[in-house]
Structure formats: C-alpha cells, structure tokens
Amino acid sequence: MDNEFTIDEQPVPFVPGQTILEAAKAAGYYIPHLCFQPDFKRHGGCKLCTVLVNGRTQTACTHKAAVGQEVDVNTPELNAMRRSLVQMLFIEGNHFCPACEKSGACQLQALGYEYEMMSPHFVELYPHREVDATHPDVMIDFNRCILCELCVRASRDVDHKEIFAVAGRGLDAKLIINSPTGKLGDSAFAVADRAAQVCPVGAIVIKRVGFATAIGDRPYDREPISAEAESCELPEVR
Amino acid sequence: MAIAGYVVGATKGFIYLRGEYKHLQEPLQRDIDTMRASGRLGTSIRGAPGFDFDVEIHMGAGGYVCGEGTAQVESLEGKPGRPRVRPPSMVSVGYLGKPTVVDNVETLAHCTEIAVDGGASFAKRGTKTSTGTKLVSVSGDCERPGVYEYQFGVTIGRILQDCGAPAAVTAVQIGGASGVLVTPDEFSRRIAFEDISTAGAFMIFGPDRDIFEVARNFAHFFAHESCGFCTPCRVGTAIQRNIMEKIAEGRGSNYEVNDLKRLAEFMKRTSHCGLGETAGNAVRDALNKFRPAFERRLRARDFAPAISLEAALEPARRITARDDADAHLDVEG
C-alpha cells in the first residue's frame, strides 16, 4: 500500500512530508514528547520522542515518515530510556510537584507517571534559580524550566516579539528574557501572548487563575498522558 | 579551497578559525592577501574567466562542538554553536540556507595534491580502503610532540617510536576526547578507516599517568563543552562528571561504576549529535581497560552515599543537645 509505514508492527498511513510523530498522532498512536507542539517549528531537543527507525534511534518529531519504515515506539528498552530522560529533567531543575500549581496538568509529571518513575535515580543537582514575578499577569519560575524552547518559538514565530531565548551552554543553559533589566515585567510580554500558553511544565504560570481546577480534576489526574493521542489534540491545560 | 569552489560553483569560502588559534589569524590573512595579489584568489583566477573565488577568515569563540559541521555553520552565521537537525544536509541547506560544502583544511589540501599529481598518484599511498596520507597531531608524554604526516595504515607503535615516547606507555587516546583509548597490547593496530579512524589527535599517557584521572578530566571536558541543546548530553555529561567526582573523593561503589556504563550507552543512543554520542567513550574505555584504577578508589562493593551520614546527623545532635554514643553512627558513613 502507498504511503504507509509501521509503528510497532501496526500499519500507519501518512501524508508525504509528515514526520513520524505527526503521522502517529493523526492515527491515534501515542509517542511521548515535551518540546513538540504541532503549531511550532520542530526542535528535537527533549528526546522523549526517540524511537527506533529500522533499528536506528531517531527523534520522531524531526524524522520524516517514509514508505515501508519500521518504527518501534513502545518497547521496554525505549521506555526505560524515556524514564531516564524524565529523571534527568527532574534532577536538573527543582521540581516539587505537591507545591506546584501545574500539578496534574504538567507534562513532565505526567510522563513521570507514564514511565513509572518511582525515584529520581540520579543525584539531584538542586540548582539555585530565581523566580521572576515582576510581570503583573504572569510569573516565571525558572526552577521548573526544562528548556523545551516552546515559549522561545511561540514568542518569536507567533507573537513576533522575541521575548525569550536560551543562553549559555551545558548545564548553564538557561532561559533569558529580552528586556533592559532581564525581567519579564520590563518586557513587551502580555498574558494574551501565545508564549504565555505553551509551557508544558509549571515554569510560566498565569497569575490569579491558580487552582481554578482543583487538583484531582486536572487533565492528567483524569487520564494518563498517553490517552491524548486519541483526541489528536493536546488537552486544554487550564 | 579555490579548487573545491571551482568544482561546485561556489565563489565564497570561509576558513573557520577557532579562538584558541588566534595567533594564526595574522599569518593566515597575509597568505590569503599574497594569493589574492598573485591572482590565485579573487576574480578570474589565473586568468580563467568566470573562476571567481575569495576566502574570508571567520573567528570562532572556541567551542568543541563547533567542529561539527552544522554547528560550525550556525556559528558562522553568528548564532550559538548548536548542531542542526538533519536532514536536510549541508550540501542542500547550509550557510544562510544555501548549499554548502564543509570540509577540513586537511581534506582541501589533499584536493590540491590530487589536482596536481592525479588520483592514481594519491591512491598509491596508504592502504587499499584508506588512500593517501594523514596528519597526526602528537601530544603528551614524548620527546618530540608535533604534527606528523603518515601514510594511512601506520601502526600506533611506529608513531610512538618516531616521536620518542617512553618505553612503558600506559595508553594512547586517539581521536581526541571523543576518540578511543588504546592500550599497549593494541599498539600494532593501524591508523586507517578500517581500523582506528581519527581526525588526527594522538595523546600519549606515560608510565606515571593515572588513567582514572585522565577519564575524570575528559568527563569535566564534556560537561563543559556540551552545548545544552538536548537533555541526554546536557544533563548526562554533568551526571557523568559528578559520578567521577564522587569516585575521586573515595565515595564510589560498584553502583556508580555500573551507572557510568549505563550512562555512556544511554548518551550514545539518545544524544542529538556526535559530541553527546561520544561523551561517555573516554570514561567507558578507561573503565573497560583500566578497571583497577577505578576499583582502588571504591569505598564499598555495593553502594555508598554521596554525603557523610555521620556529619549529616550533626544538626540533629545540636538541636537535641545530645552527644552520647547512641547519637553517633558506629561507622563513618
């Protein structure tokens, strides 16, 4: 059959030009991801969507689907790798789920559950990071930033403001804000910006709407993150 | 480079010179100016109409990852040196989105050799599958460090002999931090694509070198050089460094040794570029080939905590105003 490849031995159709992740989503097949959202330029940094394409590791969000490709997604080995990635993101920042407003709507936390992360495994790095609450409507808790660069892309490509960038390298890589003081309050950022809506974790938090949905009733409290593929859309996180 | 430009129809070339080699900028610029003055660069090179090519030196800030072709082009465009997602490859979408040839200066120099003497003459040197010669940059414990040119197929032992290495070399790191650690029983192996392939770095570790310290140094190097783009390399190289520190402090155990092995494999499988893929190689090779260098530092066979448990009890003792025997651990944790 034309324009078909397999995921875990199941046939999956694709439109030429589609990535493996896009084709999988359209077919209702779940591949995990953090730095991918359909509206933004592909990034490929979080590596959660790592799959085997004809035996070789590739990121499903950047690799184009092709006829006859054999893609492995849901294997014990790949899932163990994903668990390690989630653990690494946890220990790199300061993630205290019980005290986080995003709990239950946080994709990092949801992936922790999805991949049965029972411990951080690695020694926590406990970095010293600040909270920027200078903006009237939005606050940024850098402790929770996972450097997915979704806000960078949303602000640059959709809002056309270029409020965010990532500076520094290695563990020193951090989200910076384009304003004279480096503070969000002194930037052109607005709560209506797309960049205010895209954070997959609790780093960019909108003020005065916290706990509008009670913990226990939030998207990933109700169903696991892997259920999202069936709706082909990301759940509304607020 | 002008020949390469002529072949692919390019009119502009860049020499990417990393910050560490700033001292070469001036002499290199002088050479380029001389070539331009003598009609070997510029317009209508050597009087050939339409053969236009010029070269500009671009200074890098000195990032190891900028040796990777796509990161180098990013850096050339004035952006942070981060490897691009491939495909598309550089030859279709490269510098400023244009088709770009990215090659080592050494490769381009060989082009001249082939252009002048012909391919057959070039292929006469080296081995069947690795033709020509290779520059080997020898450093470390030897009498005559420097850049040597060998035919492909030269043995490690021959290079060690030529540069005046001590008789009892502990190991040689070939191919730089991302390369392979070679032990004396392998010194008959050859520099060639079919055996040990390398960009040319050749570090000699003499009889007094502690390979654990060598590996620890490489672990720090990768944590420093990771660009931070992808999770496994950004966090993995830091974890690797921290584990090596824990072992160095005498707090390691087999648990850490096994974790280092898992980490090397993990980074290799999941990283975005060659830097992350090879960031665990030096530590893994050292572990496989110099296990005693690690083992004599291990405190326990199974697990030892990163902190001193006895010392961690001190605040509790202070608060409860106790200092009796039961308020102390039997053994220093």
CATH assignment at residue B28 = 3.40.50.11540
Q: Structural domain of residue B188, as residue ranges?
A: 133-205
Question: Is it the case that residue A234 has pLDDT exceeding 60?
Answer: no
Domain presence at residue B77: yes
Domain presence at residue A45: yes
Same domain, B188 and B235: no
Domain presence at residue B20: yes
Domain presence at residue A152: yes
For residues A195 and A151, is the Cβ–Cβ distance under 8 A?
Answer: yes
Domain presence at residue B125: no
Per-residue confidence (pLDDT) for residue B9, from 0 to 100? 93
Q: Do the Cβ atoms of A125 and B238 come within 8 Å?
A: yes
Same domain, B218 and B245: yes
Helix (H, G, I), strand (E, B) or coil at A11: strand
Domain presence at residue B127: no
What's the average model confidence in pLDDT over A185-193? 97
Which pLDDT band, with edges at 50, 70 and 90, does B331 fall under? low
Helix (H) or strand (E) holding B253: strand B252-253
Identify the closest residue of chain B to A51 by CA–CA distance: B270
Which pLDDT band, with edges at 50, 70 and 90, does A183 fall under? very high
Question: Is it the case that residue A230 has pLDDT exceeding 60?
Answer: no
CATH number of the domain that residue B244 is part of: 1.20.1440.230
Write the pLDDT tens digit of every residue in B294-322.
Answer: 999 998 777 778 888 888 999 999 999 99
Question: Is it the case that residue A237 has pLDDT exceeding 60?
Answer: no
Question: Is it the case that residue B206 has pLDDT exceeding 50?
Answer: yes
Number of H helices, E strands in chain A: 5, 10
Same domain, B102 and B200: no
Boundary residue ending a domain (B179, B205, B231): B205
E strands in chain A: 4-7, 10-13, 50-53, 56-59, 70-72, 131-132, 138-141, 164-167, 174-177, 204-206
Same domain, A107 and A183: yes
For residues B227 and B65, is the Cβ–Cβ distance under 8 A?
Answer: yes
Same domain, B253 and B313: no
Q: Is B223 on the interface with A (CB under 8 A)?
A: yes
Residues B43 and B2: their CA atoms lie apart, in Å, by 11
The reported pTM is 0.90
Domain presence at residue B78: yes
Domain presence at residue A37: yes
Write the pLDDT tens digit of every residue in B60-77.
Answer: 987 899 989 999 999 999
Encode burial over A116-145: b for 16+ CB neighbours within 10 A, e otherwise. ebeeebbbebeeebeebebbeebbbbbbbb
Contacts of B9 (CB under 8 A, 6+ apart): none
Domain presence at residue A86: yes
Question: Is it the case that residue B171 has pLDDT exceeding 90?
Answer: yes
Please give the interface size between A and B, counted as residue pairs whose CB atoms are below 8 Å apart.
83
Same domain, B7 and B90: yes
Which pLDDT band, with edges at 50, 70 and 90, does B241 fall under? very high
Q: Structural domain of residue A138, as residue ranges?
A: 82-222
How big is chain A by its Cα radius of gyration, in Å? 18
Number of domains in chain A: 2
Per-residue confidence (pLDDT) for residue B306, from 0 to 100? 82
Task: Tell which of A36, A48, A88, A89 to mutate to test the B interface (max B CBs under 10 Å).
Answer: A88
Per-residue confidence (pLDDT) for residue A229, from 0 to 100? 58
Same domain, B103 and B161: no
Domain presence at residue B264: yes
CA B320 to chain centre: 54
Both tokens of B269, joined, read 């499988």
Per-residue confidence (pLDDT) for residue A211, from 0 to 100? 87
Per-residue confidence (pLDDT) for residue A2, from 0 to 100? 82
Residues in chain A: 238
Q: Do the Cβ atoms of B63 and A169 come within 8 Å?
A: yes
Helix (H, G, I), strand (E, B) or coil at B99: coil
- Chain A hits for B87, CB-CB cut-off 8 Å, are 64
Q: A233 or A29: whose pLDDT is higher?
A: A29
Number of domains in chain B: 4
Q: Average the pLDDT over each of A149-153, B73-77, B242-246, B296-300 and give the range with the smallest value.
A: B296-300
Boundary residue ending a domain (B205, B225, B250): B205
Which pLDDT band, with edges at 50, 70 and 90, does A238 fall under? very low
Domain presence at residue A162: yes
Identify the closest residue of chain A to B265 by CA–CA distance: A81
Same domain, B100 and B7: yes
What's the average model confidence in pLDDT over A29-35? 97
For residues B123 and B114, is the Cβ–Cβ distance under 8 A?
Answer: no
Domain presence at residue A235: no
Q: Do the Cβ atoms of B230 and A81 come within 8 Å?
A: no
Per-residue confidence (pLDDT) for residue B138, from 0 to 100? 98
Residues in chain B: 333
Question: Is it the case that residue A71 has pLDDT exceeding 50?
Answer: yes
> Up-side HSE of residue B97: CA atoms within 13 Å toward CB?
0
Boundary residue ending a domain (B205, B226, B258): B205
Out of A42, A89, A166, the one facing B231 most closely (by C-beta) is A89
Contacts of A129 (CB under 8 A, 6+ apart): A93, A94, A142, A143, A145, A174
Residues B162 and B143: their CA atoms lie apart, in Å, by 9
Cis peptide before A127 (omega within 30 of 0): no
Domain presence at residue A234: no
Same domain, A69 and A185: no
Domain presence at residue A130: yes
For residues B203 and B172, is the Cβ–Cβ distance under 8 A?
Answer: yes
Domain presence at residue B170: yes
Same domain, B104 and B158: no
CATH number of the domain that residue A34 is part of: 3.10.20.740
Q: At what angle do helices B231-248 and A76-92 cross, to 10 degrees?
A: 70
Same domain, A65 and A26: yes
Q: B166 or B310: whose pLDDT is higher?
A: B166
Per-residue confidence (pLDDT) for residue B42, from 0 to 100? 94
- Chain A hits for B277, CB-CB cut-off 8 Å, are none
Q: Is B241 on the interface with A (CB under 8 A)?
A: no
Residues A152 and A204: their CA atoms lie apart, in Å, by 12
Same domain, B184 and B157: yes
